[in-house]
Structures are given as C-alpha cells and as structure tokens.
Amino acid sequence: MRADHAQLLGNRYRLISPLGRGGMGVVWRAHDGRLARDVAIKELRPSRHGELDVHAVRRRALREARSAARLSHPAIVTVHDLLEEDGRLWIVMELVEALTLQATAWHLGRLPVHWTAWIGFHLLSGLRHAHAAGVLHRDIKPGNVLLTGERVVLSDFGIATLRRDPGQGPHGPATMPVVGSPGYIAPERLGGHPATEAADLWSFGATLYFSVEGTPPPASGDGAAVRNLMSASRAGALTRLLEGLLQPDPARRLSGGDAAAMLSGILRTEGVAVPPMRLDGGGLFSSGAFTM
C-alpha cells in the first residue's frame, strides 16, 4: 500500500505531507499522537527496485537508524523510533524546521566568512561527536546541513557506517561501492580506499568551501593545486583551515581537533565567544549566534 496523508503508522504516527524525496525514499512530516508533536519520518522506498536487493535496503536502513540512534547532540538530527509496516522501514526523527546550507548559499550567492566559521564550528562539533561514537557520516554536503538561525544540524546518516561494526572486515565492507555526492567525496575514496574520519573531514572542508564560494571545490590532484585553488578564493581567514582540510593526502589533512581550534580562533577574532568543543553533546551553542 502506498503511503498517503491518512495513513497511521504504529497506531501512533499520522502522515501529513512529504517534505522531500531522494533515491532511497521519501521524508514525511507526521504527527506523533502519543506525544502530541510533529516529527519527520523517512520512508525507505527505493526508486530502482530492479537494481536493489530488498534485504540489502533493509540492512542499510537498520544501519542508518542504529548509527544515528547512538548519537545525542544538538548538531545531529535525533532518531526517535524505527517501524516496519507495509513491507517498508520507517525511521522516525526529530523534525527540524530549517533551510539547508545549499539553499541558503544559492539564495545569497555565498555566505560571509564569519557566518561560515560559525556554521563550521557547530557542524564540526556534531561530526566529532559522531566520530567519537565510532560513526562515519560518508555524505557530508551542503544539502545535508540544516540551518535554523540558532542551530546547525547535520542530517541524513543514510549511508553512515560504524567503524567497528562487527559485520564488517578490518577495512570496512568489502563490497561497499563508493557512495556520496560528486564534489564532496574525498580523493582517496574516489581512488577506492575505504571511508575514514579523514574522508569525512575532507567533505566537511568542501562543504565550508561551498559556503564561502557558492560552488564546490574543483577536483585537485596535489597540494600545489590546493594552494592555487585557495589563492584565488574568497575564504579570507578560513584559507589556512580549508587548505588543511582539502589536502589530497589524508595523512597530511587537518585533524578534527586542529580544525576545531582554528575555527575557535577565527570566531574569537570576529568577536564571537565560543565554549570549548565537547564531544558529549553538551554546552555547544553560544549566545553569539549569527542570525541568517
């Protein structure tokens, strides 16, 4: 049965209207009758049935839900519940009323350096929290960054993996294809290497580059190309940070801790007080938030 606005899931969640569609399904606005609140529900509905193993899709959905459910942080969308009805999996999540970074930058052309630094600081706090829990995102991009004016929220752990998932080998799933969004995939992953924290950080850097430039960074094969790229950019105080994050060699790439320290310094220079970045999800949002 196709989902419609009258459908009630789990005798609790009533679907209201679709919020967005992607290759793996539909995200719905729904109402939780038990707690009297609106939520977002991802309905896993593969668009290419003939090319996908239904059991593989369900395993991926369970992996997404379990990965995200491990995380509790204001910069990460919260997962509330997981249901299976009508032969589909439904992931119940916090509803975040927001624009994406992609839509915001497209509307404005590009974001100022100080806005981008503020977005980057809070986004990185959520990403480091995920990494500390053993979760890799693998698809960080402007369309997965939600901006409410007070919060920066990383969404869609749809291709997330657990570094220490017992079902994987020591180097990740042997048959996992390279998945992600063109322009935001780390060079080593395009070369066939597994996802790592460093690869997430490259995608994070590419997302910040998009924020200040309005376009993703072009492919660059070496460190000299990165320096040439940054010399022509509008990144200003973010230049050294982006150079470090966009290093093609993951061994030379900035760590999450070093990137956090650089972003804190940039924000303090801009007169924005930021608390120490904590990985337990507490005390991360400062009163110096920029209104967008």
Q: Which of 32, 38, 139, 156 is catalytic?
A: 139
Asked if 122 and 97 touch (Cβ cutoff 8 Å), the reply is no
Gap between the Cα atoms of 95 and 66, Å rounded: 18
Closest CA to 102 of 73, 140, 75: 140
Gap between the Cα atoms of 118 and 286, Å rounded: 10
Residue written as token pair 């977002």: 40
Asked if 28 and 40 touch (Cβ cutoff 8 Å), the reply is yes
Residue written as token pair 């991926």: 60
Name every residue whose Cβ is closer than 8 Å to that of residue 24 and which is 6 or more positions away in sequence. 44, 45, 46, 47, 57, 60, 158
CA atoms within 13 A on the CB side of 176: 22
Is 139 marked active-site? yes
Judge whether 141 is annotated as a binding position. Answer: no
Residues making up the annotated binding site are 42
Residues making up the annotated binding site for ATP are 42
Residues identified as active-site: 139
